[in-house]
Copies of this chain bind each other. A is one copy, B any other.
């Protein structure tokens, strides 16, 4: 549970930046080299690399070096952690509605029996 929570910290932190989200959107369409990924951004390469390292650290992307080119690939299964967390929240909300429904039904029954 701790590990899951730590993983979510890293993932949400990684998603809290427009450059990193744009890189993920690009990689969602297929693998790309660092230089291709960096091109649309007006950013020095060392700054851009910090974003890549951040994404790699969160597990949202993998990188592999082939010769002189480093290629980035999206890691879709990490997104499932976010989706699982959102599903949990919906479950809590619905649990609440269920309890409210039970209360309303109980109140109606009480009203009928009076």
**Which residue of B12, B29, B92 contacts A15 across the interface (Cβ within 8 Å)?**
B12
CA of A79 to CA of B86, assembled, Å: 8
Q: How many copies does the complex hold?
A: 2
Q: Is A5 an interface residue (CB 8 A)?
A: yes
Looking at the assembled complex, report how far the CB atom of A86 sits from the nearest CB atom of chain B, in whole angstroms. Answer: 6
Q: What's the dominant secondary structure at chain A's contact region?
A: helix
* Chain A interface category by residue count: 20 to 34
Q: Which of A72-109 contact B (CB under 8 A)?
A: 74, 76, 79, 82-83, 85-86, 88-89, 92-93, 95-96
Across-interface contacts of A16 in B (CB, < 8 A): 8-10, 12-13, 16
Query: Which residue of B has the minimal Cβ distance to A20?
Result: B12
Query: Which residue of B has the minimal Cβ distance to A13?
Result: B16
Across-interface contacts of A9 in B (CB, < 8 A): 16-18
**Cβ-defined contact, A89 with B25, below 8 A:** yes
Residues of A in contact with B (beta carbons under 8 Å apart): 5, 8-10, 12-13, 15-18, 21, 24-25, 28-30, 74, 76, 79, 82-83, 85-86, 88-89, 92-93, 95-96
